[in-house]
């Protein structure tokens, strides 16, 4: 029998990974290593499979085997950094990435790959230095310039971000995402109007969602800045309508999840024993309701590290479930009952193992993945001393803020007004349930209060979290920590209240949402 080639092994491994056949993929990778021990492919893909199977130590051992054969293989060096990072060995992971950067030399694509890991590790300053090197070697590479602009934006270097975007647009004046990004960094005015450029770019290919969606969103903002609200709404409808055609979303699954969690945690939820001594702060709610703002306020405190928008608790649940049942795909309908059956100590251990690389070296840390609102009872079961800060906002303001934002890689409910209303109703119903079974455990914090009563609300927030007041929390906009959410520009500004009533300009367009919320018993006035 002829031994497959390395390329054939790669195809077989990837094919099994595509269908989540981790055991079969691992076997193919082992066979590849046996046939070609000096080729890094079997080691690298085997390490990928091990990480996806939550076998983190095995993943590191495999990649070390690959590097023993090929010490300067860049993909293996980056994977080693990733393995170390998932094991919580952050310092070693960053050192491994620096080694990879040295091996990358002045090759732009290689530097870009290493920078990608550093961005993932929230090491934006280090990533910026690599993008500087890459762009010095390839000054006309628009993709690199765009990525560096995103890095500059995340660290608050807005002038530098604009300069990068201008260079991108000098290369391609119709670059849709660069046009949109530039508009987000500058309020449109008579002196700085991008409407003509946006319209010209849109006219080149108005029916391709990849091209047209960002331009419609950008035009919506430009017209809103100019006070032309009817035109703004027209472009918002076009943007969301196009995006919805290419997003896979089944609203039924969100309803099943909400109903399932309510049924699985009927309450009252007893006080769980504290096995960790940890008191993480979870910031939950809907996106664009002030969660980034509050995270930045808390991260300005000397005792708190902002760990960012992590999917770690969801991953910890998956890891804990996997330890109690065979590694097969779950029936989504049974998922809430499996969550309810988890032991708090096991769940806490899974979470802390995964969050170790993110949590920083301060006594407390925040986790602001907004959809953790699905898991408040499990969170408090795992961490009885956790604090849950729930951001609220006027229902129509919250729905409008979601509808006007292009969530390219998440929140698919936001692209259709009817689906948006249903998701909002489910979210409110679940939060009301958590309040019923966990009385006094959740702090509801109104975005409007944060904006209009800054010091009083900040003091209340810090008191709830068990933190002494620090004036730095009032100067949150000076916090240099990277911000990667859609609120990166707003969270760098002193507080302003101009967005509180913005939704009222679109009251007619939002009328179907208002009606559906009112039918569900949600006050909208």
- Check if the beta carbon of residue 356 is closer than 8 Å to that of residue 297: no
Indicate whether 258 pLDDT > 60. yes
The SS3 assignment for 384 reads coil
pLDDT tens digits, one per residue of 405-445: 999 888 999 999 999 999 999 999 999 999 999 999 999 99
pLDDT for the residue 408: 86
**pTM as predicted:** 0.91
pLDDT for the residue 230: 97
What ranges do the domains of the chain cover? Answer: 173-246, 251-519
Across 270-278, average pLDDT: 90
pLDDT for the residue 172: 94
Identify the residue with better confidence: 324 or 390. 390
Q: Helix 74-86 to helix 40-52 angle, to the nearest 10 degrees?
A: 20
Burial class (CB in 10 A: 0-12, 13-18, 19+), 496: exposed
Backbone angles phi, psi at 486, to 5 degrees: -65, -15
Which among 288, 296, 524, 509 is positioned nearest to 411, based on CA atoms?
Answer: 288
Across 43-50, average pLDDT: 96
pLDDT for the residue 492: 56
Q: What is the DSSP letter of 275?
A: S
Q: What confidence tier does 190 reach under pLDDT thresholds 50, 70, 90?
A: low
Tokens coding 113: 């790959």
**In whole angstroms, what is the distance from residue 428 CA to residue 269 CA?**
19
pLDDT for the residue 328: 56
**In whole angstroms, what is the distance from residue 134 CA to residue 148 CA?**
10
**In whole angstroms, what is the distance from residue 465 CA to residue 489 CA?**
26
In this structure, which CATH number among 3.40.50.300, 3.10.20.30, 3.30.70.980, 2.60.120.260 belongs to the domain 251-519? 3.40.50.300
C-alpha distances in Å from residue 183, one per residue of 45, 165, 198, 477: 41, 10, 10, 21
**In whole angstroms, what is the distance from residue 488 CA to residue 448 CA?**
19
Indicate whether 378 pLDDT > 60. yes
Tokens coding 446: 């109104």
pLDDT tens digits, one per residue of 150-182: 999 988 889 999 999 999 999 999 999 999 999
- Check if the beta carbon of residue 430 is closer than 8 Å to that of residue 262: yes
Strand pairing report for 364-367 and 304-306: parallel
Indicate whether 327 pLDDT > 60. no
Report helix, strand and coil shares of the chain as percent, to nearest 5.
Answer: 65, 5, 30
H-helix or E-strand containing 215?
helix 209-225
C-alpha distances in Å from residue 301, one per residue of 12, 80, 354, 495: 51, 33, 24, 17
pLDDT for the residue 269: 83
The mean pLDDT value of the chain amounts to: 92
pLDDT for the residue 2: 87
In the chain, pLDDT over 90 holds for what percent of residues? Answer: 81
- Check if the beta carbon of residue 400 is closer than 8 Å to that of residue 289: no
**In whole angstroms, what is the distance from residue 403 CA to residue 237 CA?**
9
**In whole angstroms, what is the distance from residue 67 CA to residue 65 CA?**
5
pLDDT for the residue 397: 96
Q: Phi-psi region for residue 411, left (φ > 0), alpha (ψ -120 to 50) or beta?
A: left
**In whole angstroms, what is the distance from residue 310 CA to residue 456 CA?**
28
Indicate whether 487 pLDDT > 90. no
Q: What confidence tier does 54 reach under pLDDT thresholds 50, 70, 90?
A: confident
């Amino acid at each position: 029998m002829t031994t497959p080639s390395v390329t054939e092994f790669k195809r077989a491994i990837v094919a099994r990974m595509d269908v989540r056949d981790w055991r079969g993929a691992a076997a193919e990778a082992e066979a590849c290593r046996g046939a070609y021990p000096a080729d890094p492919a079997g080691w690298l893909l085997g390490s990928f499979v091990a990480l996806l199977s939550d076998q983190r130590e095995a993943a590191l051992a495999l990649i070390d085997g690959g590097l023993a054969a090929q010490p300067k293989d860049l993909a293996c060096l980056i994977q080693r950094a990733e393995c170390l990072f998932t094991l919580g060995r952050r310092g070693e992971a960053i050192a491994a990435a620096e080694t990879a950067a040295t091996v990358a030399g002045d090759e732009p694509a290689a530097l870009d790959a290493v920078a990608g890991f550093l961005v993932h590790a929230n090491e934006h300053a280090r990533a910026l230095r690599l993008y500087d090197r890459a762009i010095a070697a390839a000054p006309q590479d628009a993709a690199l310039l765009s990525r560096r602009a995103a890095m500059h934006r995340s660290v608050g270097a807005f002038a530098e971000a604009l300069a990068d975007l201008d260079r991108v647009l000098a290369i391609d004046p119709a670059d849709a995402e660069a046009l949109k990004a530039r508009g987000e960094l500058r309020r449109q005015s008579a002196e700085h109007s991008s409407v003509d450029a946006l319209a010209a770019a849109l006219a080149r290919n108005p029916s391709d969602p990849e091209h047209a969606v960002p331009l419609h969103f950008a035009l919506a903002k430009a017209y809103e800045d100019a006070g032309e609200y009817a035109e703004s709404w027209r472009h918002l409808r076009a943007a969301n309508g196009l995006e919805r055609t290419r997003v896979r979303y089944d609203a039924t699954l969100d309803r099943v999840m909400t109903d399932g969690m309510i049924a699985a945690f009927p309450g009252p939820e007893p006080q769980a024993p504290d096995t960790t001594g940890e008191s993480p702060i979870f910031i939950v709610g809907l996106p664009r309701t002030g969660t980034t703002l509050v995270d930045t306020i808390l991260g300005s405190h000397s005792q708190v590290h902002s760990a960012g928008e992590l999917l770690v608790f969801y991953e910890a649940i998956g890891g804990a479930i996997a330890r109690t049942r065979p590694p097969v795909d779950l029936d989504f309908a049974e998922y809430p009952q499996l969550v309810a059956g988890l032991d708090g100590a096991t769940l806490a251990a899974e979470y802390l193992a995964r969050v170790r690389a993110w949590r920083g070296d301060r006594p407390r840390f925040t986790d602001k993945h907004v959809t953790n609102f699905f898991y408040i009872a499990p969170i408090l079961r795992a961490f009885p001393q956790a604090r849950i800060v729930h951001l609220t906002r006027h229902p129509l303001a919250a729905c409008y803020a979601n509808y006007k934002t292009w969530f390219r890689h998440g929140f698919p409910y936001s692209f259709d007004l009817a689906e948006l209303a249903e998701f909002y109703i489910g979210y409110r119903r679940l939060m009301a349930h958590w309040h019923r079974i966990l009385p006094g455990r959740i702090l509801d914090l109104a975005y409007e209060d944060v904006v209009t009563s800054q010091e009083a609300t900040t003091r209340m927030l810090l008191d709830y979290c068990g933190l002494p007041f620090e004036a730095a929390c009032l100067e949150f906009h000076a916090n240099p920590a990277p911000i990667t959410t859609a609120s990166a520009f707003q969270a760098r500004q002193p507080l302003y209240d101009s967005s509180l009533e913005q939704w009222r300009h679109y009251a007619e367009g939002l009328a179907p949402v208002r009606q559906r919320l009112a039918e569900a018993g949600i006050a909208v006035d």
